[in-house]
């Protein structure tokens, strides 16, 4: 417990841990000379409680997730566009003629492929990005077949 206080791992209330385990672990490695070992005594446990859906919980999640993503304004705008697009798909399926939402899914597939090509070029995996049309065609069948097979046999993950 003292280590978490040393790295300022708690909010002002002293009961809720801020950030997730990754950030707390990183701070312990960087700010202290301590090492990790298995907690054998209850007095060494760190007990955290999660607020149910409240303002404080939402702020905690935004603060934690805000440490993970550092996006440029252009990328934030593109992310908002993608979010709005995915919100519009269910609405369009039930309200528009099939050729319009069918065409929008084709455009979506093309835009996803374009994004994968850009990412592949940036990270040096452009040859893998060229397989996207085959994967995009195969993936729905793979999901349907594996779902059907999983419902027939007893799955240990259920």
Q: Please indicate, yes or no, whether the overall pTM of this predicted structure exceeds 0.85.
A: no
| Same domain membership, residue 117 and residue 93 | yes
Residue 158 lies in a domain: no
Query: 9: buried, middle or exposed (CB in 10 Å: 19+, 13-18, 0-12)?
Result: buried
| Same domain membership, residue 80 and residue 33 | no
Cα–Cα separations (whole angstroms), residue 55 to 8, 31, 39, 52: 22, 30, 32, 9
Question: 158 pLDDT exceeds 60?
Answer: no
| Same domain membership, residue 115 and residue 147 | yes
| End residue of a domain, out of 68, 94, 114 | 68
Give the number of domains in the chain: 2
| End residue of a domain, out of 23, 42, 68 | 68
| Same domain membership, residue 100 and residue 43 | no
Dihedral (CA of 75, 81, 85, 87) sign: positive
The string of pLDDT tens digits covering residues 26-65 is 777 777 777 666 556 666 666 555 556 677 777 777 766 6
């Amino acid at each position: 417990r003292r280590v978490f206080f040393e790295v300022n791992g708690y909010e002002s209330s002293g009961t809720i841990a801020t950030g997730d385990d990754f950030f707390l672990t990183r701070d312990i490695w960087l700010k202290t000379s301590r090492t990790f070992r298995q907690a054998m005594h209850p007095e060494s446990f760190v007990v955290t409680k999660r607020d149910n859906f409240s303002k404080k919980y939402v702020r905690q999640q935004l603060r934690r997730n805000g440490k993970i993503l550092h996006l440029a304004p252009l990328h934030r705008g593109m992310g908002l566009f993608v979010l709005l697009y995915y919100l519009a798909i269910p609405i369009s399926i039930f309200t528009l003629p099939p050729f319009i939402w069918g065409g929008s899914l084709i455009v979506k597939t093309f835009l996803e492929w374009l994004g994968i090509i850009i990412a592949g070029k940036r990270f040096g995996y452009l040859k893998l990005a060229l397989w996207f049309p085959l994967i995009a065609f195969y993936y729905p069948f793979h999901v349907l077949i594996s779902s059907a097979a999983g419902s027939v046999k007893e799955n240990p993950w259920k």
